[in-house]
């Protein structure tokens, strides 16, 4: 469909493509699918596109500048830390996301990781498979979750949903989020606390905050040093929120009891984290907390509909770069 394309899709191996493409095709809107690594010739086919639907690839100033007709970038997902928001703003391009998909999946997965790490699933699975006498299996200390305290960092949709699930398990919930009001804490059944208090008093710390320049390595050596209850650390948000080297040190030193991680720094290439991946006190899943068949379909169709509303009806979605002046 070449230069006539009104919507470009750059899935870059993200699985939402069939649902997005099907929704756009059904609407009869010309589109083009870019290859995983688009070169100049590929980008030329999308030169007239007014909207770009992207997965988790790096959206750079160079790429944005190569699409002169672009007015909207739709992140098929939540995090926009790999999109150059400054460049988009400079170029008059609105950036938005699909903020309300997979809320329940990620909250379920956060609880899954909390349970697996707390109950030392990795250790007991290994012990149960090596042919040893089950009565002689080593039993490391395991925290009783009922009555313990969960500290939620970031009380948006997913953090709130995780808090409600934890309360159903009989946990006390505290939370830190300077960007939400008292009603959010009330609805989640969480007590608002300062970040330092959360670190010092929580038995489990679960991260649900975006990755920004301010939150990168939010859990680093200084934060781990402020922990007093040997917590379990859970991260289903972004790998860069945790300083991986500092986490390994905290696990080795007994500052952190165990960890449940769906995201790691530098993913999808996680080869440098071999020392972490081989531990039985760490449960790792490959960034699949968002996934179910339902969430995959919702992601693709919703991202496509946002793009369709923009190119056909001029509907501007909420901007994640609010200073933008559309060109």
Catalytic residues: 238, 267, 287
55 contacts 80 by C-beta, under 8 angstroms: no
Q: Which letter, b or e, does each residue of 122-140 get, where b requires 16 or more Cβ atoms within 10 Å of its Cβ?
A: bbbeebeeeeeeeeeeeee
Q: At which residue do the structure tokens 């379909």 appear?
A: 297
* The two three-digit tokens of residue 15, written as one number: 């699985």
264, 273 contact by CB (below 8 A): yes
Closest CA to 5 of 311, 314, 327, 303: 311
Task: Report d(CA 142, CA 204) in Å as an integer.
Answer: 12
CA dist 305 and 303 (Å) reads 6
């Amino acid at each position: 469909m070449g230069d006539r394309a009104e919507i470009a899709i750059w899935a870059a191996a993200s699985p939402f493509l069939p649902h997005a493409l099907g929704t756009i095709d059904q609407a009869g809107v010309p589109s083009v699918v870019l290859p995983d690594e688009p070169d100049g010739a590929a980008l030329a086919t999308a030169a007239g596109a007014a909207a770009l639907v992207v997965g988790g690839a790096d959206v750079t100033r160079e790429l944005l500048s190569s699409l002169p007709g672009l007015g909207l970038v739709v992140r098929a997902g939540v995090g926009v830390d790999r999109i150059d928001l400054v460049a988009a703003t400079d170029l008059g391009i609105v950036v938005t996301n699909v903020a309300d998909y997979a809320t329940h999946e990620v909250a379920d997965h956060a609880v899954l990781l909390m349970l697996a790490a707390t109950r030392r699933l990795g250790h007991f699975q290994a012990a149960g498979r090596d042919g040893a006498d089950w009565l002689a299996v080593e039993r490391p200390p395991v925290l009783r979750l009922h009555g313990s305290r969960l500290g939620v960092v970031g009380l948006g949709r997913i953090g709130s949903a995780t808090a409600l699930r934890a309360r159903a398990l009989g946990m006390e919930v505290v939370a830190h989020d300077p960007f939400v009001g008292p009603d959010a804490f009330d609805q989640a059944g969480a007590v608002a606390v300062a970040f330092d208090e959360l670190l010092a008093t929580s038995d489990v710390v679960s991260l649900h905050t975006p990755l920004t320049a301010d939150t990168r390595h939010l859990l680093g050596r200084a934060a781990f040093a402020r922990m007093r209850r040997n917590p379990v650390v859970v991260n289903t948000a972004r790998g860069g929120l945790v300083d991986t080297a500092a986490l390994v040190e905290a696990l080795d030193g007994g500052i952190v009891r165990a960890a449940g991680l769906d995201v790691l720094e530098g993913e999808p290439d996680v080869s440098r984290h071999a020392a972490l991946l081989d531990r039985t006190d760490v449960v790792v899943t490959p960034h699949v907390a968002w996934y179910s068949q339902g969430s995959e379909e919702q992601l693709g169709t919703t991202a496509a509909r946002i793009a369709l509303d923009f190119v056909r009806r001029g509907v501007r979605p909420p901007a994640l770069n609010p200073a933008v002046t559309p060109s």
